């Protein structure tokens, strides 16, 4: 599992990659941010830190999901990978991303994932990489990504959205459109983002068939959608 978290007010960030057994990898990412001098811990080192921090661990049974196992069975000798939102729309469990803006315009972003199905052992996606899968900066926006991670790394997607706002003066919606529906598509990348700017404007664009998404504003108005 991979996870990362970032605060927009001070650009502090924490991330973990290739962890097994940790019940809540995103809490571990937050501990990396708050309790260490580092940003990204991986593998057995990240797990040792989790034990030191007394994080909850679970056995493999806890993480077992019949549907995911079957999905992997179908793919395992094919050399292919798949995303949770590219097929089987009934299943809502996969990468989880969240972004938030408080009353003072403070932003935060977080992403947690088991990664793509049938990824190679040792493969790291965009989710634990600050700038690729997750980014937050009070000057611009907070972004969390989901999709085929390699393209999000190539496009440095989360940071690119922030850059277009910072350097080109684009609005959040314009910057997200430019990156998700133009630049990412050009690379051949499929996926989407959830994003919020420092004034509370939101954008949740995707270039796949659907993306499970929801939002709530200060008036408690909710939006819950899957398809366009
Ligand atoms: N971005 C994740 C990865 O590449 C997968 C996902 O978003 O579903 O590992």
> What is the per-residue pLDDT across 135-164, written as a single tens digit (0 to 9) for each?
999 999 999 999 999 999 999 999 999 999
Query: Which pLDDT tens digit goes with each residue over 171-215?
Result: 999 999 999 999 999 999 999 999 999 999 999 999 999 999 999
Q: Which residue shows structure tokens 């290739």?
A: 18
3-class DSSP string for 53-118: CCCCECCHHHHCCHHHHHHHHHHCCCCCCECCCCCCCCCCCCCEEEEEECCCCCEEEEEEECCCEC
* Model pTM score: 0.94
Confidence of residue 80 (pLDDT cuts 50, 70, 90): confident
Nearest C-alpha to atom 7 of ligand 1 is from which residue?
146
- Enter the tokens of residue 109: 């972003």
Phi-psi label, residue 27: left if phi above 0, alpha if psi -120 to 50, beta otherwise? alpha
Question: Among this protein's residues, is 171 annotated catalytic?
Answer: no
What's the Rg (C-alpha) of the chain?
Answer: 17
pLDDT score of 2 more than 60:
yes
Q: Ligand 1: which of 118, 191, 208, 210 to mutate, most ligand atoms within 8 Å of CB?
A: 191
Compute, in angstroms, the gap from residue 84 CA to the centroid of ligand 1: 8
Q: Which residue shows structure tokens 């907070």?
A: 142
Compute, in angstroms, the gap from residue 166 CA to the centroid of ligand 1: 26
How much is the pLDDT for 85?
Answer: 61
Compute, in angstroms, the gap from residue 203 CA to the centroid of ligand 1: 19
How much is the pLDDT for 87?
Answer: 55
pLDDT score of 96 more than 50:
yes
Q: Percent of the chain, pLDDT > 70?
A: 96
75-84, 120-129, 214-223: which has the minimum mean pLDDT?
75-84
Mean of all residue pLDDT scores within the chain:
94
pLDDT score of 88 more than 70:
no
pLDDT score of 4 more than 50:
yes
- Give helix 43-52 / helix 25-35 axis angle, nearest 10°: 80
- Enter the tokens of residue 216: 């709530």
Q: Ligand 1: which of 25, 126, 192 to mutate, most ligand atoms within 8 Å of CB?
A: 126
Q: How many CB atoms lie within 10 A of CB 76?
A: 11
Residue bearing the bigger pLDDT, 91 or 225: 225
């Amino acid at each position: 599992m991979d996870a990362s978290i970032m605060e927009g007010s001070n650009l502090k960030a924490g991330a973990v990659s290739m962890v097994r057994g940790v019940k809540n990898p995103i809490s571990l990412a937050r501990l990396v941010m708050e309790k260490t001098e580092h940003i990204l811990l991986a593998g057995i080192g990240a797990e040792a830190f989790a034990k030191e921090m007394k994080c909850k661990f679970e056995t493999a049974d806890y993480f077992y999901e019949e549907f995911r196992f079957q999905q992997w069975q179908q793919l395992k000798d094919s050399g292919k990978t798949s995303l949770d939102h590219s097929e089987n729309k009934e299943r809502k469990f996969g990468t989880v991303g969240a972004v938030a803006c408080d009353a003072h315009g403070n932003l935060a972003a977080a992403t947690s994932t088991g990664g793509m199905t049938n990824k190679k052992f040792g493969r790291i996606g965009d989710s634990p990489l600050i700038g690729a899968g997750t980014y937050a900066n009070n000057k611009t926006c907070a972004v969390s990504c989901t999709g085929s991670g390699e393209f999000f790394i190539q496009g440095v997607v989360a940071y690119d959205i922030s850059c277009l706002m910072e350097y080109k003066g684009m609005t959040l919606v314009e910057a997200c459109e430019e990156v998700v529906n133009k630049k990412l598509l050009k690379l051949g990348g499929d996926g989407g983002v959830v994003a919020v700017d420092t004034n509370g404007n939101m954008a949740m664009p995707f270039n796949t068939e659907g993306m499970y998404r929801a939002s709530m504003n200060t008036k408690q108005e909710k939006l819950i959608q899957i398809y366009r």
